Amino acid sequence: MAPPTAPLAGRPANPADGRVPEDPVAFLIEHALGHLFSAALRTAVQYRVADHLAEGPRTVEQLAEATGTHAPHLRRLLRYLATRDVFREDATGAFHLTPGARPLRSDVPHSLRDAVLMMTDETFRRSSAALAETVRTAGPSFDRIFGAPLFEFLAADPGTRELFDTGMASLSGPVDGPVAESYPFPEGSTVVDVGGGRGGLLRAVLELHPTVSGVLHDQAPAIARHVLDVPELAGRWRAETGDFFASVPEGGDVYVLKHVLHDWSDAACVDILRRVRDAVPARGRLLIVDSVLPPGNAPHYGKAMDVAMMAVVEGRERTAEEYATLLSAADFRLTRVLSTPVFPSIVESVPAARTVPRATGGTGDAASAPRP
């Protein structure tokens, strides 16, 4: 196959904005090889290149000695990553840590190292490679490849479960503070973090609002490694194990579903929302923290994540209108969508008049679905 007729200079034009790429051949070939970028990123993370650059620039020979790799091949890999601002090579041939690569360090607050390892793991790679079958059958590739839905597979595979839990904590960490700062949690209120994992968002909320108390609700494996047991939060929180398809804790004022609904089909989401509706008081609120897809074809984090969800689970990223439809089906009314400085938005809703009787447990097949 002939190479592109001209080298790529920076990022090629994006046809979504109406411009034609200067070199359509190079544009398409670069994107066809996109899987190599994630593989290169994973390789740099596995060899902790960012950690080795923390004290300053180093030559590729120094990096190769520190990482136990082959210097010429390592240079080619880092040169490729540098085309997208992950590391930078100077005129002397030394590589520098860039702002884009700094979160790959393992020793910085809100490191994304574990998130990258999770999202480039074979569970995601193999599922994404089978997208053609996903599009044909309208079912996740993951189930066919690994023999069970994602959360059932995680329950039976402790190693992958650990990778998933640490990866999700890494992915969530950088957004917890900005999300907590973006919503006016009422003074003296009780916040119930439903499916809250290790409690990173709840911790951020409690640290920012000294009069607020909280409840962390999730299954036992996630709660077992919660991050709430710090002296400054003593007496202001409790943890409750449970399954949000069955019930959620009552007595809260603000209920939060962060990175939960995008894992599930519309029917399962309505089931989860109805369990929240059973618990929320008349003057309570529900906050959905997830990507909200904008209209049009401009690049957006959620559009890439939406395809990933399609390959791995029955879930999806949604527009504001789609969230409004789900909420209405569960007797909530969407009141507003708040932007945050990070990729998730906050979809706020309040209880509406009941059209579905209060339930004592989950409904449908989703009630027994395992959760991380």
What is the set of active-site residues? 262
From residue 308, alpha-carbon distances to 140, 317, 326, 333, 361 in Å are 10, 10, 21, 29, 30
Those residues whose C-beta lies under 8 Å from the C-beta of residue 159, and which sit 6 or more positions away, are none
Q: How far apart are CA 109 and CA 103, in angstroms?
A: 8
Q: How far apart are CA 195 and CA 352, in angstroms?
A: 23
For the chain, the residue count is: 372
Q: Where are the beta strands (DSSP E) in the chain?
A: 58-59, 88-89, 94-96, 190-194, 213-218, 237-241, 254-258, 285-290, 332-338, 345-351
Q: How far apart are CA 133 and CA 142, in angstroms?
A: 11
Q: How far apart are CA 326 and CA 178, in angstroms?
A: 26
The answer to whether residues 57 and 68 touch, using CB atoms and an 8 Å cutoff, is no
- CA neighbours within 13 Å on the CB side: how many for 253? 11
The answer to whether residues 137 and 129 touch, using CB atoms and an 8 Å cutoff, is no
Those residues whose C-beta lies under 8 Å from the C-beta of residue 283, and which sit 6 or more positions away, are 253
The residue assigned the tokens 């041939």 is 93
The answer to whether residues 230 and 214 touch, using CB atoms and an 8 Å cutoff, is no
Q: Find the radius of gyration of the CA atoms of the chain.
A: 22
The residue assigned the tokens 């074979």 is 122
The DSSP secondary-structure symbol of 2 reads: P
